[in-house]
Structure 1
Amino acid sequence: MQSKKYLIILSFLTFSILSHAQTYKFQDDRLSAEERSENLVSLLSLEEKVGQMLNAAPAIPRLGIPAYDWWNEVLHGVARTPYYTTVFPQAIAMAATFNPDALNKMADYAALEGRAIYNDAIKTGKSGQRYVGLTYWTPNINIFRDPRWGRGQETYGEDPYLTGTLGKAFVKGLQGDDPKYLKAAACAKHYAVHSGPEPSRHVFNVSPTMYDLWDTYLPAFKDLVVDAKVAGVMCAYNAFKGQPCCASDDLMTDILRNQWQFKGYVTSDCWAIDDFYKNHKTHPDAASAAADAVIHGTDIDCGTAAYKALVDAVKQGKISEKQIDISVQRLFTIRFRLGMFDDVAKVKYAQTPKSVLESQAHQAHALKMARESMVLLKNQNQILPLSKNLKKIVVLGPNADNTIAVLGNYNGIPSTTITALKGIQDKVGAQTQVVYEQAVNFTNDTLLRYINLDNYFSFEGKQGFKAEYFDNQNLSGLPIFVRNEKSIQNFWQEGQIVVNNLKAYNFSARYTADYKAHETGEITFELEGDDGYKFFINGKEVLNAWTRNRWGAKTFKLAIEKDKVYRLVVEYQQTEGKASIQLRTGTRYKQDFDALAKKHQDADAFIFVGGISPQLEGEEMPVNYPGFNGGDRTSILLPQVQTDLMKALKKTQKPIVFVMMTGSAIATPWEAAHVPAIINAWYAGQSAGTAIADVIFGDYNPSGKLPLTFYASDKDLPDFEDYNMANRTYKYFKGKALFPFGYGLSYTNFNYTWDNKPSQNVYKENEIINTAVNIKNIGNKDGDEVLQVYIKYPQSDKLLPLKELRYYKRLSINQKQSANTKINIPINDLKKWDDTKQALTLVSGKYGLFIGSHSEDAKLNFEFFVQN
C-alpha cells in the first residue's frame, strides 16, 4: 500500500517537472482538449492505450500520467466516499419536488463537494482510488415503467418529459458553466431500454416497438446528450434486439454516435462486457466481445477487465489500433476538460476547499428539497397538521428510527442523520411524551427482544472475547495487537485510533469467544457492521456480509442446550469511512397488535412510519422476503402485517398518521379508505426526519407531487418483463389509479383561471400554443403549487398517449395572492413515431390541452386540431 502511494506522488512530481519544461504538446494548456488528447495518445504503446480503457486506469509514469479510477457516484450527493458528505433526498424524491432549479443547485453543490474530495485526495495520496474522482456515473434516467423495479428509486419517475427536464438541470448543475473546464463529468445511464427485472438483467433481451423506443425510452437520453451536452453515457447490461446494448447497431452507432453526434465517452455498466460471452452468449470470448464493444463506441470496460483482451484482439485482426485510438482520445479529452493535467491556479474549481463538505448552505438545501419532496396523499377532515401541544404521541414502525431507509441507496454518509423519530422528538420538545416502539418488521410481526449475555462469553478463562486486529483487510499474517474485550460493541470514525497506532481504515479484526448456554431453547444473534463481516458457530459459517453489506443487521437463530458451549467467531473487515461492528443477542417474540393498541389507549395520536426501504428494494439484492425478489418486488401491496397493525390502531379511534417511506409506488387500498392522514416521505436524505415533522406539525405546507402512478392493485400491472408500454404509466393506463401521477395535496387551496385562453384552435408544424394562466391561493396558508399542463392525443387503433405532461412549473404563492404563468407548447413536441415514414411525425386530429394540479385534474380545458 505504501509503495503504491509513493508511486502516485512520484507520478505527480514527474508530471510537474515535465510540465515545467513543456516537453510534450499535450502539456500546452493553450491547445484544445481534443488536440492535447490526440498528441498524448500518439505517444502511447498499444498496451498503455488498452490500460487506459479500464475503469481503474493505471499510471504512465514516463509521461507523468497518474492513475485514475473513472468509477464514482453522485446520485443524490457524493456517494461511497471516505469523507462525510451532504446527502440529499433520493432521486425519486427529488423528482417529487417538480423543481428543476432545486435539482440544478443540488448538483452544483454536490459537484463542489466532489471537487473538494478530489483536491484533498491528491494532497493526501489517495488520488487514483475509486470514489474520489470527478467522473460521476449519474444520473439514472431510465423510465420507471413498472413499480416493481427495485432501482426505480434511482430514477426521476415514469414520465419522459419530467425525467428529461430534471436530468438536464442536474447535468448542467454538475458540469458547471465554465467555457473551458468541467466542474465534474456527468454520465447518463443506463442506455437505453433498461428497467428490470434485476435477477435477469444480465441475460434478458428487449425488443420494444419503434414507437415505444422513441416515445418512452429515448427522449430523456436525447435531452441530456443533445441539449445538456452530458459528458458520458453508460450502456446497459441487457441485450437490445439480440445485441448487447454496449454493442448495439441501433442504439450505439446509428442513434447515439450518428444521429445525436455524441462526442463524449461511453462506459459499460460494470461487468457488462463479460456478459457478452458469459451470459448473452453472443460472442465466443473476451477478445471478440471487447473488440465489438469498442467498434460500437464503448470506451471503458468497467469490471474485471475484459478489455485487457484488446491487445490480442488487435494482433488477431478483430479490431484496428486506430479504433482503439478513438476511444482513448475520447477518454483523455474528458480528463483534459476536467483540468486534471493543468496548473491548479488556472482551473476554476481546483482550489475548492474541504470546508464546502456539509457546508451550511448545502445542508439547508438538503432540508429544503426534503420538505418539497413530501407528498400529502390524504388528509381527511384536516387532521393534519397536528398540534405541538399534545400530551402523548406514540411513534411506531420499522422506518421510525431507520437511518438506512432515509439515506436511500447509492448514498453518501452525512455526519448527522435525522430519522422520523428524532425529527418528531425535536419538534415537540419535552412538553410532549413521545413513546417509540418498533412494533413490527417490514414483512412480519416477530421481533427481537434484546438481552444482555455478556457474562456467558469467555475465552481461555477470561470473560469476553479474544480480539485480534490486523493491519490489512483480509486477516492475513499475524495480528498486530491482541486484547480481551467484554463484548463486541465497537464504533470508530474514519482515522480514529483502534489500538496502538492502527487507524480505523484498511484493517480487519477477528473476535473469538465461547458461549455457555444459559438455558435450553433458542437464542438469536444479531450482527451489524460497516464494512463487511462473517459469523461462524462451531466452525460453520452462518452469516456472510463480507462484500455486499448494505441492508442493515443480519440475524441467526441458534437452538441451544443449557450449559453446552458454542464457539463463536466474528470476522470483520473495514476499508474506508466510519467503522463499526456489533454483536447483539436476544429472543424472538410475536407482537400482539391489539394489546399494543390497548397499552397506548391514552395516546393523543399514533404516527406509524412504515412502507419499505432500500434494505428490501434496490440493485440485484439477495432479498427474498414475501413480496420481494432479488431487489425487485413481486407485489406492490403494502406488506399485510403493516396494514394489520394499523387496523388495530384504528380501533382506538385515535388519530393515525401513516408516514410511508418508499422508493416506488405502493398500493394501499385499505389505508386510503380508512387511515385519515397519509404522507409519502420517500427516502428523503439526511434531513428526512426534520422535513417529516415540519409537515406533520404544520411548519411546512406540503407541496410534493407523485412522479409516478400509485396503482390500487397488482392486477393493474402488465407482465413485469413486457417492455411494451400499452396500459403502463399514466400516459397509457386505462384503469383507475389509487393516487394519479402528479398528485399531492396541500394545506391550502388554489384557484385556476385563464389569463389568456388560446383563440387559435388549428395548428400546424412549427407553430406554438401560447397561453397564460392565473393561479390564486384562496386558503389561509402560504404554499407552493405545481402547475401541470397535459396534452390529450387523438385516440384510434394506433397507440398514442391518453394524456402527456408537456409543461410544469412550481410556484410559491402567499395566501390571498396570485401568480401569472405564461405557457408555450411547441406543436413539434407532439410528434410521434410513424412506422410507415420511419420518423417522428405529427398525427392529425382532435387534441385537448388541460391544466391542473395532477394528471386527472382538468381545471382548465382547451380543444384544438392539428393538421399535418
Structure 2
Amino acid sequence: MAAGGLFSAPAQADINRALLNDKPAFIADVMRQMTLDEKIGQLRLISIGADMPKPQLIKEIAAGRIGGSFNTVTPAENRPLQDAAVRQSRMKIPLFFAYDVVHGHRTVFPISLAQASSWDMDAIALSARTSAVEAAADGIDMTFAPMVDITHDPRWGRTSEGFGEDPYLVSQIARVSVEALQGDRGPDGKAPIGANGVMAAVKHFALYGAVEGGRDYNVVNMNPMRMYDDYLPPYRAAIDAGAGAVMVALNSINGVPASSNTWLLQDLLRKDWGFKGLTVSDHGAIFELIKHGVASNESEAAELAIKAGIDMSMADQIYLKELPELVSSGKVPMAAIDNAVREILGAKYDMGLFHDPYLRIGDGSHDPADINAENRLHRDAARDVARKSMVLLENRAQTLPLKKTGTIALVGPLADAHIDMMGSWSAAGVARQSITLKQGLQDALAGKGKLLTARGANITEDKRIVDYLNFLNWDTPEVVQDKRKPEAMIAEAVKIAKRSDVIVAAVGEARGMSHESSSRTSLDLPANQLALLKALKKTGKPLVLVLMNGRPLALNWERENADAILETWYSGTEGGHAIADVLFGDVNPSGKLPITFPRSVGQIPAYYNHQRVGRPFTEGKPGNYTSQYFEEPNGPLYPFGYGLSYTTFALSDVALSKNTLPRDGEIEASITVKNTGKRDGATVVQLYIQDVAASVVRPVKELKDFRKVMLKAGEEQVVRFTIDESKLKFHNAQLQYVAESGDFNVEIGLDSKTVKTQKFTLQ
C-alpha cells in the first residue's frame, strides 16, 4: 500500500466537546468528520512487538490506522502510543489498551477453575476488583475476561481458564466478575467506567468449551436446545451485567465459524439479547476463515467478518488491506463500517477515554520507580481467595490437619515451582514473587517442626512433552529437568520419607499442561510421578497428596492409596502460604468441585446434569442392557459439588412450604444443616431440581441455587430457598422458553450426588 495514498486525510478535525456528555451526539459528531480510511483504522487491534515494532506502531497510530493495542503493561511503555493518538493524529481519537487479566494482574489469584471451587461470590468479586485496580494502575482499559465457556471435556487445555461445567454457577460468577471488573457505573449502569475499573470483554463467544474431543480450536456441533440451556446462559449473564465487549470464539458452530456467523453475532447477540457493545475477534481469527474453508482469500474473509458483525480485528492486517476496495466496489456497505466504528467509539466513550485519554495511563508523574515493586501487590486478598478455593477430596483417619511439630517430608516436582503456582494466563505476575509450597511450609513450621525436602521426580520424563511445553513459552523455558535418573530421585525421596512423620507430595501438571493449545489424551498423572507415589506408599508413612493442576485428573490409584488428597489447582501468588494454612488447619477447607472428576478418559464427557435415558444405569443393580461401561465402576470418581471438611455436617429432610406452585407464586424449600463435628467450618448447601416429565428429554437434575454457610461446631441453621416459575423454565423443541405444568423433584445436598428429596407440582 503506497504511503500517503489510502490514508491521506483532510484538515484537522474539530471535535465538539460541548457534546461530550451526550454519548450518541458526541459519537455522531466524531464520525461525521472521519474519512473511510480513519474509520477502517479504528477497526484494528494491534500488539506491540508481536504484530509490529513500536516505532512503526507509533507511526501507524499517528496516521489514524490503529484503534487499540494489547499485551503491553507498563504506563511508560504505552504512553507514547496514546500521545501519538491524541496529539499527532488528525482525529485525536484515543487508543485503548487491552490485556488478558484472567485471574489477577500483578497479584496472581487462583485460576478461574479454582475460584469457582470456592462457590463464594464475595471471594470472586474480591479477585476481579483487585485485578481491575491493579490493571488500571498499569494503564489497562480492557481485559479479555471473564472466560465463561462451559466445558464437559477436561481434556481441553483451557478448562483451567473457565469456571466449570454448570450453567447456573458459571452464570452467577460471570455476573459478579463483570460488575467487579467494571466497577460502579451509576444507578442506570451507563456511566463511564472509572479510573479504577476496566472494561470486561466476555469470552469466547460462543460454545468454545464444547470443541470435539477436547481439542483446542476444533469444531462444535450442537442442537439448539442444548445450546440455549447449557452453554449460552453464562454469556447472556455477562451481557446482562453490562459487559462492554465480547471476544468472539475461534471455533465453528454447526458448520459456520463464529467469526463469520451472522446468526450468532447479529440475530442472537444484538437483536435477541440487545447487546450494544464492542465485538472483537480472537487473535488472527479473520484470516483463519480461509483455513476454515469458508473464504477462499483475504478479501472474502474480511467481507464475511465485517458483515457478520466483527467490529474489531485482533492482530491481522486483513481489514486494513481489504475493506477499502470492498466498500468502493459495493460488496461491503458503508453502514457495516459505520456500525463497527460506532461500537468501537462507544466502547472508548464507556471507558472514559474521550473525557480523559490519560484516565488510567496517567501523565507519568505517578509512574512507579519499580513496576514490580512488592508494595504494588495485594497478598492478603490473594491468600484469602486461595484458601477458599481448595477442595479436600480425601482425608482418611483424620490425617489432616497436620501438626506443626515433628518432621514432614515434602517431595514432588511442584513442591518448589514458582511459575507453576501461578497457572496459565498469569498476566503481569512475576514468578519469583509467588510463594511456593516449600516456602509456605517453612514459614508455617518456623521454630516448631522440621521440613525435609527432595524433588522425587520431574514433571515428566517424556522429552517430547517437555520440548512442547517449553516451545509454548518463547521467552524462558518453564520446564527444567533434573538430569538424575528417575530411580535416583525416588531413592532420595524415600530416604527422607523414612525419617519423617508424614509425607506431603506435590504432584500434578506443569502449568503449560493446562493451557491454551494444551489438550491432553490422558488425565492420569505422568507415569514417573505415579511411580514416585507408589514408592512413597511402601514406606508406610501417612501420604498426603497436594494436587496442582488445571483440569480434573483421573485419580484411581491415588484415591485408594493416599491418606489425604487436597486439590489446590494453581493457587497464585500466595499459594504456598494458603496451602499451608489449610494443611495445618489454620483454615478449614470449604471448597466444592465446580466440575466432575471422571474415573478415566473413557467416561468423557462426564457431567452431572446429563440428559435422562430410557435405560439408565442404577448403582447397586446389574448393569446389563443399561447405559453404562462394563470395565470399571460407573459414575464419577468425584461428583460435581463434592468437597470434604475437617468437620462434618448433617442435613435434615427437605421441607416445602406447600406442595403446589401456582404460576404467579413461589414455594419455599428449607433444610436444616448442622455442624456435627468439633471444628468450625463452612459448607455449600446446593439446590437441584428435576423436571419429572416434560415435552422433551430433560436433565437428571439441574443446579438452581446454593448457599455457602459458616457454622460453629455444634451449630445448626435453617437454609431457605425460594422456588418460582423462573427456576423451572427451559427451551422446548420450538426454542420457546417455558415452564411446563407437572411434577418436580427438589433435591438439596452438600454435593450433586447425595441429596434429600421432596416433590411439588407446578399448576
| TM-score normalised per structure 2 | 0.83
1:394 and 2:409 aligned:
yes
Q: Closer, same or farther in 2 for the Cα pair 1:383/1:547, shift >3 Å?
A: closer
Which residue of the partner structure matches residue 530 of structure 1?
none
Deviation of the 1:614 alpha carbon: 1.5
1:373 and 2:394 aligned:
no
Deviations 1:824-866 (A, max 9, x none): 123223222222x3312224433211112111121x3211223
Deviations 1:779-829 (A, max 9, x none): 221211111111123268943111111111222222233344331123223
Which residue of the partner structure matches residue 15 of structure 2?
24
Which residue of the partner structure matches residue 424 of structure 1?
441
Which residue of the partner structure matches residue 864 of structure 1?
760
Which residue of the partner structure matches residue 529 of structure 2?
642
Deviation of the 1:116 alpha carbon: 1.2
Larger radius of gyration: 1
The answer to whether the 8 Å contact 2:152/2:606 transfers is no
* Of 244, 264, 277, the match for 1:231: 244
Deviation of the 1:297 alpha carbon: 1.7
1:212 and 2:226 aligned:
yes
Which residue of the partner structure matches residue 188 of structure 1?
202
1:700 and 2:587 aligned:
yes
For structure 1, the 5+ residue unaligned runs are 1-13, 79-84, 119-132, 447-525, 528-541, 556-584, 621-630
Which residue of the partner structure matches residue 295 of structure 1?
307
Which residue of the partner structure matches residue 318 of structure 2?
306
The answer to whether the 8 Å contact 2:598/2:606 transfers is no
**Aligned residues: CA RMSD:** 3.2
Q: Closer, same or farther in 2 for the Cα pair 1:343/1:75, shift >3 Å?
A: closer
Higher helix share: 2
d(CA) in 1 for partners of 2:311, 2:379: 36
2:311 is aligned with what amino acid? D
- Aligned pairs (5 A) from 1:268-667: 268-277=281-290, 279-308=291-320, 309-343=322-356, 362-390=378-406, 392-411=407-426, 412-414=428-430, 416-444=433-461, 548-549=474-475, 552-553=478-479, 590-591=487-488, 593=490, 596-598=493-495, 600-620=497-517, 631-667=518-554
1:171 and 2:171 aligned:
no
Q: Closer, same or farther in 2 for the Cα pair 1:693/1:544, shift >3 Å?
A: closer
d(CA) in 1 for partners of 2:408, 2:233: 47
Q: Closer, same or farther in 2 for the Cα pair 1:808/1:685, shift >3 Å?
A: same
Deviation of the 1:445 alpha carbon: 9.2
1:740 and 2:639 aligned:
yes
Deviation of the 1:198 alpha carbon: 9.2
Which residue of the partner structure matches residue 679 of structure 2?
781
Which residue of the partner structure matches residue 99 of structure 2?
72
The answer to whether the 8 Å contact 2:415/2:438 transfers is yes
d(CA) in 2 for partners of 1:586, 1:641: 14
Deviations 1:191-234 (A, max 9, x none): 111124699645x4322011110111111111111x20111111
Deviations 1:400-454 (A, max 9, x none): 11112210111131462111111111111144331211111223399xxxxxxxx
Deviation of the 1:351 alpha carbon: 12
d(CA) in 2 for partners of 1:273, 1:216: 27
d(CA) in 1 for partners of 2:343, 2:547: 45
d(CA) in 1 for partners of 2:702, 2:478: 40
d(CA) in 2 for partners of 1:315, 1:266: 24
The answer to whether the 8 Å contact 2:96/2:348 transfers is no
SS at match of 2:173: helix
SS at match of 2:138: helix
Q: Closer, same or farther in 2 for the Cα pair 1:320/1:401, shift >3 Å?
A: same
1:713 and 2:600 aligned:
yes
Moved more, 432-441 or 379-388: 432-441
Count matched residues. 682
Q: Closer, same or farther in 2 for the Cα pair 1:586/1:213, shift >3 Å?
A: closer
1:328 is aligned with what amino acid? V
Q: Closer, same or farther in 2 for the Cα pair 1:169/1:352, shift >3 Å?
A: farther
Which residue of the partner structure matches residue 235 of structure 2?
221
d(CA) in 1 for partners of 2:24, 2:744: 47
Which residue of the partner structure matches residue 261 of structure 2?
248
1:851 is aligned with what amino acid? I
Q: Closer, same or farther in 2 for the Cα pair 1:29/1:769, shift >3 Å?
A: farther
1:109 and 2:130 aligned:
yes
Deviations 1:107-143 (A, max 9, x none): 112111122111xxxxxxxxxxxxxx31111011000
2:698 is aligned with what amino acid? L
- Identity among equivalent positions (%) equals 31
Higher strand share: 1
d(CA) in 1 for partners of 2:472, 2:761: 62
d(CA) in 1 for partners of 2:501, 2:537: 13
Deviation of the 1:189 alpha carbon: 0.6
The answer to whether the 8 Å contact 1:768/1:826 transfers is yes
Which residue of the partner structure matches residue 25 of structure 2?
35
Deviation of the 1:708 alpha carbon: 0.3
Which residue of the partner structure matches residue 803 of structure 1?
701
The answer to whether the 8 Å contact 1:266/1:300 transfers is yes
Q: Closer, same or farther in 2 for the Cα pair 1:785/1:342, shift >3 Å?
A: same
For structure 2, the 5+ residue unaligned runs are 1-10, 47-65, 68-84, 617-626, 629-633
SS at match of 2:44: coil
2:502 is aligned with what amino acid? A
Deviation of the 1:716 alpha carbon: 1.1
d(CA) in 1 for partners of 2:674, 2:540: 36
Q: Closer, same or farther in 2 for the Cα pair 1:306/1:550, shift >3 Å?
A: farther
| TM-score normalised per structure 1 | 0.73
Q: Closer, same or farther in 2 for the Cα pair 1:298/1:344, shift >3 Å?
A: closer
Which residue of the partner structure matches residue 72 of structure 2?
none
Q: Closer, same or farther in 2 for the Cα pair 1:672/1:346, shift >3 Å?
A: closer
SS at match of 1:188: strand
SS at match of 1:703: coil
d(CA) in 1 for partners of 2:374, 2:99: 19
d(CA) in 1 for partners of 2:473, 2:590: 40
Deviations 1:298-324 (A, max 9, x none): 101112222111112111211112221
SS at match of 2:313: coil
Q: Closer, same or farther in 2 for the Cα pair 1:750/1:29, shift >3 Å?
A: farther
Q: Closer, same or farther in 2 for the Cα pair 1:596/1:748, shift >3 Å?
A: closer
Deviation of the 1:670 alpha carbon: 1.1
d(CA) in 2 for partners of 1:550, 1:840: 51
1:740 is aligned with what amino acid? P
Which residue of the partner structure matches residue 538 of structure 1?
none
Q: Closer, same or farther in 2 for the Cα pair 1:702/1:666, shift >3 Å?
A: same
Which residue of the partner structure matches residue 504 of structure 1?
none
Q: Closer, same or farther in 2 for the Cα pair 1:545/1:648, shift >3 Å?
A: closer
